[in-house]
Each structure stands twice: as C-alpha cells, then as structure tokens.
Amino acid sequence: MPIVNIDQDAVTSGHLATTDSDGSQIDVEGTIIPVIVPDSDRSDWLASYDPDEQYSPSAADSRIIARAVLDSLRKVAP
C-alpha cells in the first residue's frame, strides 16, 4: 500500500487565501496540513486513482490519507 506522511512541524493555522486543486478560490480561517508523498510511492498513488470513477481510490487507500490528516489535525486542535 502506498505511504503518506504529514510534516507535523509545518502545520499552521490562520487566514488562508489560495486556490484549491479544482481551481476554486479559498478564503477562510483554516489549518494547513502538509501531506508528504514519497516520490517512490507517487506512481502507486496515481495508478490507484481514476478521477472519472466514483469509487476511486479504494476505501483502504482513502483511509490512509484521511487518518494521516485527521491524526495531524487532532494534534493541533484546541
């Protein structure tokens, strides 16, 4: 299974004004959680993802990303 890590030392909160990966504008108070995907796993992640398929990536692969992000968020939650 592909690996994902979080750079916990670089997690920050505050006002964020940027562009989302879908091109929409973001302007919120929020938390930035830097996700690190090792170069050696990038092709595995992309191979398991089909943006035109509603159930892609698999639940197991999605859970890897979700748990990493949520664990990081829990550490910075007030």
pLDDT digits (tens, 9 = 90+) for 56-74: 999 998 998 899 999 999 9
pLDDT of residue 24: 97
Residues 6-45, buried b or exposed e (16+ Cβ, 10 A)? beeeeeeeeeeeeeeeeeeeeeeeeeebeeeeeeeeeeeb
**Spans of all domains in the chain:** 5-76
Q: Binning pLDDT at 50, 70 and 90, where does residue 45 land?
A: confident
Residue 48: pLDDT band (50, 70, 90) is confident
